[in-house]
Chain A
Amino acid sequence: MSFLILDRLSKSFGAVKVFDGLSLAVAKGETVAICSPSGSGKTLLLRLIAGIYEPDAGEILIDGKAVTGLAPDARGIGMAFQNFALYPHLTAFENIASPLRARGVAEAELTRRVGRVAEILKIGHVLRHLPRELSNGQKQRTALARAIVADARLLLLDDPLRNVDAKLRYEMRHELPRVLREFEATVLYVTQDFREAMALGRRIGVLHGGGFVQVDRPQRIYADPETVEVARLFGDPTINLYDSELAGGAVSLLGLTLGLPGAADGGRRPCRVGVRPEHVELDAGGEAAPDGGAGGLPVTIEAVTPLNQNAVLLLQAAGGGEILASTTLQRAEALARGPRRAIARVRPEHLLLFDRDSGARIRTG
């Protein structure tokens, strides 16, 4: 039995239809990360669940009970806002204690629970401070503490790491799952950052065009995207995409024809071909075999961008098309040292095909 069920939600603002029949089911104790570009309604979705807005149609069920129409204070939810939304005239302690005060928790118990959460989130030493005296990181932790302190059955975290610096974001990305596990919360976590979504979510939901286009485990979202948008959203460097045609069980990209194993020998179909940068294999040389040899594409190396352990290479094919490739730092340096020419190869099983009009995945074999 799912703990949170969103059943065919619709919501419009004037003529703008933000959600159209959106559905999702979240199991108890599960963390689902909602990831999509800005403007797709992630924040609005959390606000519908929290009761700040009401859906035009559809039903929201928490623990089997319909909550649509209930006031926010009657839904028993914890929420952390992207802009923190701390109470500026109350100390950090009172900010965190607010949900407990609303539930009439006795003073001793309240102090104990606030202290415990503050300790877990490492803000015990600033509890007497007002929000304006806190650093951004401390504000964010205070907002988070307020959301989880009352053991809310459902936690809505609205991009809580958006407004903190990169170092802290990285730290919190590793720390948050531990904190969330400790409180055994069912969590909806909204973010724009696909890495954050992959680090935090047991499943990831991708919002696009008024509903979820894919809800799946992080690895599956990455390796097996349902639409071209999902493929583009997840991955850094981003996926290479080329307009092509599926004909005779093969596609051609940048002048290279690749047969797809198991593809039906149907008619011609316009498509887009996606290749992940790490699936572009590079061989040194290029002069030896100007045609690239069998299944290879001669390219020139235009730029190398080091990135921790890996490097991103910008390649240019003879026909003018550009390819992003990702490989180890040493290998990239070795390739760039020579005449900056290489042979690029892609294995057919690594190709991702999408319909050119709808963007939906074309599955072969």
Chain B
Amino acid sequence: MQRSSWPWRIFKALCLTAISLFFLFPILWVLLMSFQTNADILRVPPSPFFTPTLANYKALIAGELTGAGSTLQIAYMKNILNSFVLSACSVLLSLLLGVPAAYAFARYRFRLGENIAFTLLSFRFAPPLLVLLPLLLYFQELGLYDTYIGLIWVYQLITLPLILWIVRGYFEDVSPDIEHAYRIDGHSWLRSFLKIAVPLARPGIAAAALLAFIFAWNNFVFALILGSSDVQPVTVGALAFITASGIQYGQIAAGLVLSVIPTFVLALVMQRYLVEGLSLGAVKG
């Protein structure tokens, strides 16, 4: 590789710094805000120097928001737990259903196959409001309103198409000969799927699962309409911060930080699988 010249490298570093600042500064600001009192945050002009406080976090974990003169009971930690249960279960269910389906779409040509795949994808671009009202009526009728199962089911609209379409591409990239070779070795179809196809598509499955988890985590409108506070995730729970007595910026910031942590940790853990270039050198190209 050619060594780039000094001016070019400095220019690149400057650009990277500017881009990083642009995207990371809000996150940094929120992090700082979460350790400030409302008075510190609203000070004019703003100052980066303040006495850090854990009051915001304490209030969230205790579930008692103290605003201007009033106390409000919220279940923010329960909301986070709900978010986690809903997202994780949705992704797991989608993996269970979507990975075999993706394999089928990648490997076999069958009647209406492409139509079915496209219909599943179309769930992603239909506006949720389109289906919400009828769904609400169904859910109340079926007793699914305000249940985890009901929400996990609806969340499949978000997670299943995503996993199906991403993983399908990865299966298509695996040479069918590798699976043929495994079958000829004497292994059953199921073993060749579990021992060859799935491990080889693992980076894709990891990426799709992570993306689906984030999409599910960030969903707002399904849980807002189809559940009560018992099953509602953080996105809906955060509404409680806007009270008649004012907006508690510090507590919102702390809530945001807490709600980002699970996704952040998950992304760090998955990173290993995401960059795994397994199929390199498998087949002479």
Contacts and interface: CB of A to CB of B under 8 A. Distances in A.
B203 to A, nearest CB: 11
A33 to B, nearest CB: 20
Count class of interface residues, chain B: 20 to 34
B282 interface: yes
B180 A50 contact: yes
A73 B180 contact: no
A102 B280 contact: no
Given A87-B196, A88-B280, A132-B280, A81 B189 contact: no
A60 to B, nearest CB: 14
A73 B187 contact: yes
A101 B186 CA distance: 9
Given A81-B177, A88-B200, A72 B183 contact: yes
Contacts, number: 90
B7 to A, nearest CB: 38
Contacts of A139: 281, 284
Contact of A83 (B175, B185, B196, B278): B175
Given A136-B284, A163-B284, A87 B182 contact: yes
A88 B186 contact: no
Nearest to A97: B185
| Centre residue among B180, B196, B280 by max chain A CB count within 10 A | B180
Interface string B262-284: 00000000000000001111111
A89 B200 contact: yes
A98 interface: yes
Contacts of B280: 88, 132
Contacts of A289: none
B184 interface: yes
Interface residues of A, number: 36
Contact of A73 (B175, B183, B279): B183
Nearest to B177: A85
A75 B283 CA distance: 24
A136 B175 CA distance: 17
Given A73-B183, A73-B186, A132 B178 contact: no
Interface string A65-100: 000000111011111011111111100000000110
B186 A102 contact: yes
Interface in B143-197: 175, 177-178, 180-189, 196
B278 A73 contact: no
A72 B181 CA distance: 9
Contacts of A136: 284
B177 A98 contact: no
B199 interface: yes
A292 to B, nearest CB: 52
A157 interface: no
A146 B182 CA distance: 10
B174 to A, nearest CB: 9
Contacts of B196: 87
A84 B279 CA distance: 13
A184 B18 CA distance: 69
Contacts of A52: 180, 183-184
B180 A71 contact: no
A266 B276 CA distance: 74
Contact of B189 (A71, A77, A82, A103): A71
B180 A131 contact: no
A9 interface: no
B183 A71 contact: yes
Contacts of B187: 73, 98, 101-102
A87 B195 CA distance: 10
| Centre residue among B184, B279, B281, B282 by max chain A CB count within 10 A | B184
B185 A73 contact: yes
Contact of B283 (A77, A84, A99, A146): A84
A150 interface: yes
Interface in A157-210: 163
A88 B281 contact: yes
B150 to A, nearest CB: 39
B199 A89 contact: yes
A84 B180 contact: no
B284 A98 contact: no
B284 A87 contact: no
A209 B100 CA distance: 40
A81 B181 contact: yes
Given A139-B284, A163-B284, A85 B178 contact: yes
Interface string B129-152: 000000000000000000000000
B189 A85 contact: no
9 contacts: A71-B183, A73-B185, A82-B284, A85-B282, A85-B283, A88-B279, A132-B282, A150-B185, A163-B284
Interface of A: 47, 50-52, 71-73, 75-79, 81-89, 98-99, 101-103, 130-134, 136, 139, 146, 150, 163
Interface of B: 175, 177-178, 180-189, 196, 199-200, 278-284
Given A77-B184, A136-B284, 8 more contacts: A72-B180, A83-B177, A84-B282, A85-B282, A88-B281, A89-B278, A101-B187, A103-B186
Ranked 4 nearest A-B pairs via Cβ: A132-B281, A102-B186, A88-B282, A85-B177
